[in-house]
Structure 1
Amino acid sequence: MGTSASKNSDSSHGRRDGQLYVSLKMENFNIRGDLIPHVYGSAPVTGSWDSAKALSMARESASTWELSFVVPPNHETLDFKFLLKPKYSNVPCVVEEGPSRLLTGGMLQEEDARSALFKVGGYEEVLEYKLFIKVDIVSPFDLAASWRAYQENLEPSRVRGIPDVSINVAPDNMGSENGPASTLELDLEHYVVPAPSSSVGVVYAANLTETPRSLVNTGISSKNDASSGSSYDSSKAGVFSLDHSNSQKDMDSMVLDPTKLLPAPGMVESKSVGTFSPLLKEDGQKGLLVDRGVGSPRLVKSASAGAVTFDPKLGSETKKAMPAAAGAVAAAAVADQMLGPKEDSRLAIVLVGLPARGKTFTAAKLTRYLRWLGHETKHFNVGKYRRLKLGTNQSADFFRGDNPEGLEARNEVAALAMDDMIAWMQEGGQVGIFDATNSTRNRRNMLMKMAEGKCKIIFLETICNDKHIIERNIRLKIQQSPDYAEELDFESGMRDFKERLANYEKVYEPVEEGSYVKMIDMVSGQGGQIQVNNISGYLPGRIVFFLVNTHLTPRPILLTRHGESRDNVRGRIGGDAVLSEAGELYAKKLANFVEKRLKSERTASIWTSTLQRTILTASPIVGFPKIQWRALEEINVGVCDGMTCEEIKKNMPDEYVSRKKDKLRYRYPRGESYLDVIQRLEPVIIELERQRAPVVVISHQAVLRALYAYFADRPLKEIPDIEVPLHTIIEIQMGVTGVQEKRYKLMD
């Protein structure tokens, strides 16, 4: 037994090119927990008959152990035996009874397929293990590809007879122990676990918009306005960043003669406020123009400041970066960049509408959608600019159309926001969402003049005639808006806001100019219409398609991975394995959870992929329609299908390193990248937005990472590392207050 039976492959006749692949399974329903099956034999990979170097088998189920390995090319023949021993010790070590088993030329002798017998406990106990041995000679390419996954999943599909779409009726055994029951005592709160610290929650939508760069650099801020959204690096723009650690007394303020501020090359006159920016050094004076409002410009100079510096490229054309996207989005971006006018590659969506009509929520949803697709998008809220510059104590009189000071001040902050948005576009931004009432032609004409030759404007007008929805939105405004944070009397705030609304209604002029989209009574998701005028191009078309399908009807969306599969136990990626015992238990628990959580939502539906493990997870759920989506399948890992991460690292080191460097863009050989997954999930997102009833999505880790990133508005680069654990339900609550998250962990 101690002599190797291997022979050099050069001396074998008729041998196919490739390596000896061995797959072993042992089954015993009376397994001794302390003794683990091992394999040792003549080849170095099996320890060269050294029991201390034997290969440990992995548990596949409660009664089955599994091991697969490849014999090096120079060992076409393999002599081996099984033994039992503890995982981290060589004592006790029980070798199977009988002669060793012999593999020659990929063939196993018939008598060597016998069961393995072990005498343990002083030879008083005999353990019998039933064996399943598969042997073949495969090429290295086939080994890295899906051959092994196919060989190890010869078990017929368990879901072959299940239709792609099924509408279940309530079964007769609603009270059975294993099935869901309407009377089931299940405390959902018992399973709640903390959501990630970066998860979404109830936040006033305007506070999540772009932080005004012009006003932040002045040190102006409002205590009621949360700073959120994308941070701005002033070192990349033609502005001087103030050190907020210095007190105001360290700053000198002086008034300049406007007649001495002459335009110079690279300077752009702001027609709306009558000043120039950036401010160049004049007569040895150094400083920054920080107030672009009405009256004389003011120069703020730090007592310790040196020369004012600014990026000379600000205001000049910068090459637009390609979006982080694949497929149709990338193709459209290339076409627009190569063939379209410069301003068409930059798109400004300018909101129009009376207050409390859902403009900011619509803008936030559109921003999230475009970012998720890979378009560089930012949301600029003029109300946030107003609060930062003027504070939050404006009464309804400030918004009167016949108040010249208020009108001038509101136009001023609108121009500041527009300047910031255009400057950001010139630095590489693609889509700017300009969120304000913009309720008069004069205001819209001002914006179009500022955007001329710099970006394409599409007006998005939101019209709502439902008094109940308007009243609900007004109440939310009083509760959440920083404008009313210091108003202790709710009814007083309501009266003030309704007076403000009446002032806007007196001067409101519907959009009839330029390119526009009108959303009329679309908020509820029932009925309504969209009017489109002069809209063309890939991206504007996608935006219109998204808006047609979006609404603010509250409803939950439940995201969960399938129950644990046998490949999860083995640590293998891809494949179409069935559920493990733990996975089957989770399927039953999930059915109970869904019945309890959605017992009053009989219009809910269950979505799965077409792979067995999701369909089997959904099978115990009854009483709801089930739809299989090919788009919900796990990321295609190509030739790595069926491999473990360690095997990829060992056999395909270059691919392993490439994936580590950039998981978002890395595409498996003959497979997909995360960006590819996002592209095929766009129809799923559109349908989730369109649905007015709850949806349970049972899918896979990579897919749920991408879906979760959409709802949580997470950056694309974070998607591959988002935690989506097994046997956990992520509940996304969608509605007029935004997106909220709750997590339930049904099993450890």
Structure 2
Amino acid sequence: MSAILSDDDELFNGLGSEEVITKPVPGNHMARTRKRWSSGSADKRPKIVNKLIDGVHTDVATDYISPGQLYSTESGRLFHAGKILIVLVGLPATSKTLLSVAITRYTRWLGVRTRSFHVSEYRREKARTEKGGVPNDYYSAKPGSQEGGNYRREILRKMTKDMTEFFDEKRGQLAVYDALNILKEDRSSIEKVFGKMNIKVLFIESVVTDPLLQKRNVDLALKSADYKGWALQDAEQDYMSRLKANKHLYEEMSPEENLSYVKYINFGEKLTVNNNNYGYLINKIVFFLMNLRDKRGRVYFARCGTSVKDKYIDDEELNEEGLNYSKVLTDLVLDLVNKRRLDANDGTSAVPRTPSAASLKERSKSPLIATSASLKRTESTGNALYRQPASGDGVDDDSFVVWTAPRKRTYDTAKYFAELGISVRQRNQLQQLHPGVVADMSDHEVKEKFTSEYQEYLRDPYHFRFSRAESYHDLAVRMEPLLLEMERMCGDILIIGHESTLRVLYGYLMAFSCSEIPRLTFTRDELIEISFGPFENKVNRIPIVMD
């Protein structure tokens, strides 16, 4: 055994280790001797994807591999969890659709073949196909007319048939059933039907008692496809009639029903679990719900500024061009956030109306416009009847936080935000993908020096890793805690990072597969803005215009 040359060598290599061989060893360095992915999961060359469209509602192909997936099986099911049906329970305007989409997005990221089944989509499809009107009493959990009852039963039968087919024929593992389900007899029937198929059933009851949250849910519902072309007053009256028709019928879930359920109050303000004995995957979903919050703000993605050499090996500070980019980025993001706050503030609140085009110097006293929520919270400090100021980053919907990686040029890109008193946090998970032995090499140089490895990389750029490097899959697994932290944030977040980390975060928020993520591009002449909706996330690409 070779001798350790110094204390530093021993610290690097480990006690009693041999000297590290510095010459790279050719071959695929994926640290695995057995095949990780089943033969049915071989990743195919992807189709051209529109990176502005949320993929959370696309069908999961049988050979689909998720970005955060640790392994695959021939059955397509993971975590020894079997088949699971999540049934949402609650009145209209209780965030059920938002919950179903969020659960679908997160579990798909983990590799679970998940699909949401929304009763509203089935109803609209039936109305389009049959070209007839929907009976007025259909929206009640107990329609008064035979026509309304038949219409409702046909839709629910179709949903049950499709969910069964998803489990049996499409190798699905998790289905999310988004409907009212507010009657005990309906819930009991669902448990019996799917229990006979050896499918575990978990109910999630969404309860909203906060009037502000309920109003926001109603406002979001009025923007749905149901009310396209409607006058706002007519749409609100119609939707509130749906709520009124079901309020007196609502039977809250209780332990006496002998069902497994989660009671989810005010979108994460309080959560209780009853009779949960379904194991790891369900517990992971419950943990996700504990971190999930109603997002009022936006997520912004920006590249870091440039340095002199602009290389991975050199942890350099920003050059003059990079500093100018940082100033422009700071102005642009603050303009966007303040403009939305101005639009959101009502005319009666005493909110300071500073110009949105103010320079950094003019903004130095107050870089962000106060919102109605922040003013009310300030007025209520010390009054137990009001919600008190929160202590954590991003807990409030009017918060604004900047995340950066620890490297100098990334952190320095946010220096002007920090000078204005805005929270800037270094997150280790945002470290860029470690390139290993191919650091700072061009594609041509990699191809010349590591010919066989380069060919393997082209076949699977997401999972392949060069010697001493990370793969995108390694990066995605490393960043999972950051995804949960991002789900917990209610306000605005600006994430400044390397293109590799932005690809992974964007891939999660837009539900992309692992074959699509390495091909995403983020340039320094664009700021990416993602807004959150109950049915899908939306992307806005904003030009960054340099002086």
- TM-score of the superposed pair, with normalisation by structure 2: 0.71
CA RMSD of aligned residues (A): 3.4
**Higher RCO (CA 8 Å, separation ≥ 6 residues):** 2
Q: In 2, distance between residues paired with 1:659 and 1:409?
A: 53
Among 268, 276, 288, the alignment partner of 1:546 is 288
Q: In 2, distance between residues paired with 1:387 and 1:398?
A: 12
Task: Assess, with a 3 A threshold, how the Cα gap between structure 1 residues 345 and 615 changes in structure 2: closer, same or farther.
Answer: same
Q: In 2, distance between residues paired with 1:324 and 1:614?
A: 28
Does the Cα contact within 8 Å between 1:709 and 1:719 map onto a contact in 2?
A: yes
Q: In 1, distance between residues paired with 2:304 and 2:431?
A: 11
**Counterpart check, 1:465 vs 2:209:** yes
Q: In 1, distance between residues paired with 2:51 and 2:241?
A: 38
Higher deviation after alignment, 493-502 or 557-566: 493-502
Q: Which residue of 2 aligns with 1:199?
A: 52
Task: Assess, with a 3 A threshold, how the Cα gap between structure 1 residues 654 and 575 changes in structure 2: closer, same or farther.
Answer: farther
Task: Assess, with a 3 A threshold, how the Cα gap between structure 1 residues 430 and 551 changes in structure 2: closer, same or farther.
Answer: same
**Counterpart check, 1:677 vs 2:475:** yes
Q: Please list every run of 5 or more consecutive structure 1 residues that lacks an aligned counterpart in the other structure.
A: 1-138, 145-195, 202-207, 210-228, 234-319
Does the Cα contact within 8 Å between 1:567 and 1:573 map onto a contact in 2?
A: no
Q: In 2, distance between residues paired with 1:436 and 1:577?
A: 54
Q: Which residue of 2 aligns with 1:612?
A: 408
**Counterpart check, 1:534 vs 2:271:** no
**CA deviation vs aligned residue, 1:615-640 (integer Å, no higher than 9, x gap):** 22222332212211110011122232
Task: Assess, with a 3 A threshold, how the Cα gap between structure 1 residues 491 and 694 changes in structure 2: closer, same or farther.
Answer: closer
**CA deviation vs aligned residue, 1:109-152 (integer Å, no higher than 9, x gap):** xxxxxxxxxxxxxxxxxxxxxxxxxxxxxx982699xxxxxxxx
Larger helix percent: 2
Q: Please list every run of 5 or more consecutive structure 2 residues that lacks an aligned counterpart in the other structure.
A: 1-20, 27-48, 338-366, 371-398
**What SS does the corresponding residue of 2:70 show, helix, strand or coil?**
helix
Does the Cα contact within 8 Å between 1:464 and 1:521 map onto a contact in 2?
A: yes
Q: Which residue of 2 aligns with 1:583?
A: 322
**Counterpart check, 1:600 vs 2:368:** yes
Task: Assess, with a 3 A threshold, how the Cα gap between structure 1 residues 231 and 691 changes in structure 2: closer, same or farther.
Answer: closer
1:594: how far off?
Answer: 4.0
1:359: how far off?
Answer: 0.7
Does the Cα contact within 8 Å between 1:351 and 1:461 map onto a contact in 2?
A: yes
Among 351, 363, 368, the alignment partner of 2:100 is 363
**What SS does the corresponding residue of 2:515 show, helix, strand or coil?**
helix
**CA deviation vs aligned residue, 1:186-217 (integer Å, no higher than 9, x gap):** xxxxxxxxxx964158xxxxxx88xxxxxxxx
**What SS does the corresponding residue of 1:465 show, helix, strand or coil?**
coil
Task: Assess, with a 3 A threshold, how the Cα gap between structure 1 residues 586 and 440 changes in structure 2: closer, same or farther.
Answer: same
1:582: how far off?
Answer: 2.7
Q: In 2, distance between residues paired with 1:725 and 1:740?
A: 19
Task: Assess, with a 3 A threshold, how the Cα gap between structure 1 residues 668 and 346 changes in structure 2: closer, same or farther.
Answer: farther
Among 505, 515, 527, the alignment partner of 1:729 is 527
**What SS does the corresponding residue of 1:330 show, helix, strand or coil?**
coil
**Aligned counterparts, 1:61-460, within 5 A:** 141=23, 198-200=51-53, 229-230=57-58, 324=66, 330=70, 340=80, 344-391=81-128, 393-400=133-140, 401=142, 402-426=144-168, 427-452=170-195, 453-460=197-204
Q: In 2, distance between residues paired with 1:533 and 1:640?
A: 52
Task: Assess, with a 3 A threshold, how the Cα gap between structure 1 residues 620 and 485 changes in structure 2: closer, same or farther.
Answer: closer
1:325: how far off?
Answer: 5.1
Does the Cα contact within 8 Å between 2:101 and 2:534 map onto a contact in 1?
A: no
1:369: how far off?
Answer: 2.0
1:418: how far off?
Answer: 2.3
**CA deviation vs aligned residue, 1:682-710 (integer Å, no higher than 9, x gap):** 21121122122322211111110111122
Report the AA paired with residue 630 of structure 1: N
**CA deviation vs aligned residue, 1:562-584 (integer Å, no higher than 9, x gap):** 1124454xxx6566344344323
Q: In 1, distance between residues paired with 2:498 and 2:315?
A: 12
Q: Which residue of 1 aligns with 2:260?
A: 515
Higher deviation after alignment, 585-594 or 546-555: 585-594
**CA deviation vs aligned residue, 1:647-680 (integer Å, no higher than 9, x gap):** 2111111111111111122223232221221222
1:587: how far off?
Answer: 2.2
Q: In 2, distance between residues paired with 1:543 and 1:600?
A: 35
Q: Which residue of 2 aligns with 1:712?
A: 510
Task: Assess, with a 3 A threshold, how the Cα gap between structure 1 residues 592 and 398 changes in structure 2: closer, same or farther.
Answer: closer
Report the AA paired with residue 438 of structure 2: C
**Counterpart check, 1:476 vs 2:223:** no
Q: In 2, distance between residues paired with 1:232 and 1:738?
A: 16
**What SS does the corresponding residue of 1:636 show, helix, strand or coil?**
coil
- In the comparison of the two structures, how many residue pairs are matched? 436
1:747: how far off?
Answer: 4.9
Report the AA paired with residue 530 of structure 1: L
Q: In 2, distance between residues paired with 1:541 and 1:691?
A: 21
Higher deviation after alignment, 657-666 or 442-451: 442-451
Q: In 2, distance between residues paired with 1:666 and 1:567?
A: 27
Among 676, 696, 699, the alignment partner of 2:494 is 696
Does the Cα contact within 8 Å between 1:730 and 1:741 map onto a contact in 2?
A: yes
Q: In 1, distance between residues paired with 2:119 and 2:245?
A: 18
Report the AA paired with residue 230 of structure 1: T
Report the AA paired with residue 377 of structure 1: T
Q: In 2, distance between residues paired with 1:638 and 1:549?
A: 34
Task: Assess, with a 3 A threshold, how the Cα gap between structure 1 residues 458 and 567 changes in structure 2: closer, same or farther.
Answer: farther
Q: In 1, distance between residues paired with 2:334 and 2:127?
A: 52
Q: Which residue of 1 aligns with 2:344?
A: none
**CA deviation vs aligned residue, 1:197-246 (integer Å, no higher than 9, x gap):** 64158xxxxxx88xxxxxxxxxxxxxxxxxxx43599xxxxxxxxxxxxx
Q: Which residue of 2 aligns with 1:181?
A: none
Report the AA paired with residue 517 of structure 1: V
Q: In 2, distance between residues paired with 1:574 and 1:416?
A: 58
1:322: how far off?
Answer: 8.6
**What SS does the corresponding residue of 1:371 show, helix, strand or coil?**
helix
Task: Assess, with a 3 A threshold, how the Cα gap between structure 1 residues 383 and 142 changes in structure 2: closer, same or farther.
Answer: closer
Task: Assess, with a 3 A threshold, how the Cα gap between structure 1 residues 334 and 628 changes in structure 2: closer, same or farther.
Answer: farther
Does the Cα contact within 8 Å between 2:213 and 2:266 map onto a contact in 1?
A: no
Q: In 2, distance between residues paired with 1:732 and 1:466?
A: 26
**Counterpart check, 1:505 vs 2:505:** no
Aligned-pair identity in percent equals 29
Q: Who wins on radius of gyration, i.e. which is larger?
A: 1
Q: In 2, distance between residues paired with 1:556 and 1:454?
A: 41
**What SS does the corresponding residue of 1:714 show, helix, strand or coil?**
coil
Does the Cα contact within 8 Å between 1:731 and 1:742 map onto a contact in 2?
A: yes
Does the Cα contact within 8 Å between 1:349 and 1:459 map onto a contact in 2?
A: yes
Task: Assess, with a 3 A threshold, how the Cα gap between structure 1 residues 197 and 330 changes in structure 2: closer, same or farther.
Answer: closer
**What SS does the corresponding residue of 1:518 show, helix, strand or coil?**
strand
Does the Cα contact within 8 Å between 2:77 and 2:173 map onto a contact in 1?
A: no
Q: In 2, distance between residues paired with 1:696 and 1:231?
A: 31
Does the Cα contact within 8 Å between 2:305 and 2:326 map onto a contact in 1?
A: yes
Higher deviation after alignment, 373-382 or 648-657: 373-382
Does the Cα contact within 8 Å between 1:460 and 1:516 map onto a contact in 2?
A: yes
Does the Cα contact within 8 Å between 2:503 and 2:520 map onto a contact in 1?
A: yes
Task: Assess, with a 3 A threshold, how the Cα gap between structure 1 residues 387 and 593 changes in structure 2: closer, same or farther.
Answer: closer
Larger strand percent: 1
